[in-house]
């Protein structure tokens, strides 16, 4: 599912930029949402999985922006 891949890439980018679950509520929320998406996928609840993955990507993008703001000397771009 493309949304799952996009969300995982966004989470990886946020992590690479320095986001952590302890410092970023959005990074924590992204991790929780991708876990929910994976659970829904295993249960073959595809619509719920897609929605949770999109939520994970949104939170990861916010975490990435926050991390980049804290480290402007080496910003990490959001994957497409």
Per-position pLDDT tens, the chain of length 80: 899 999 999 999 999 988 887 778 999 999 999 999 999 999 999 999 999 999 999 999 999 999 888 866 665 665 65
Note whether residue 75 is domain-resident. no
Residue 47 lies in a domain: yes
Tally of structural domains, the chain: 1
Residue 32 lies in a domain: yes
Give the contacts of 39 (CB within 8 A, at least 6 positions apart): none
- Residue 12 in any domain: the answer is yes
Q: SS3 helix, strand, coil % of the chain, rounded to 5?
A: 70, 0, 30
Q: Flag whether 26 is in a domain.
A: yes
> Which residue range is the domain that position 23 belongs to?
2-69
Asked if residue 46 belongs to a domain, the reply is: yes
Domain assignment present for residue 53? The answer is yes
CA dist 45 → 4, 48, 52 (Å)? 13, 6, 11
**Rounded CA gap, 73 and 80, in Å?**
22
């Amino acid at each position: 599912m493309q949304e799952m891949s996009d969300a995982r890439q966004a989470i990886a980018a946020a992590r690479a930029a320095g986001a952590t679950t302890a410092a970023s509520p959005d990074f924590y929320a992204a991790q929780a949402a991708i876990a929910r998406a994976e659970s829904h996928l295993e249960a073959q609840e595809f619509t719920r999985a897609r929605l949770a993955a999109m939520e994970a990507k949104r939170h990861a993008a916010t975490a990435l922006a926050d991390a980049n703001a804290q480290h402007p000397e080496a910003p990490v771009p959001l994957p497409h």
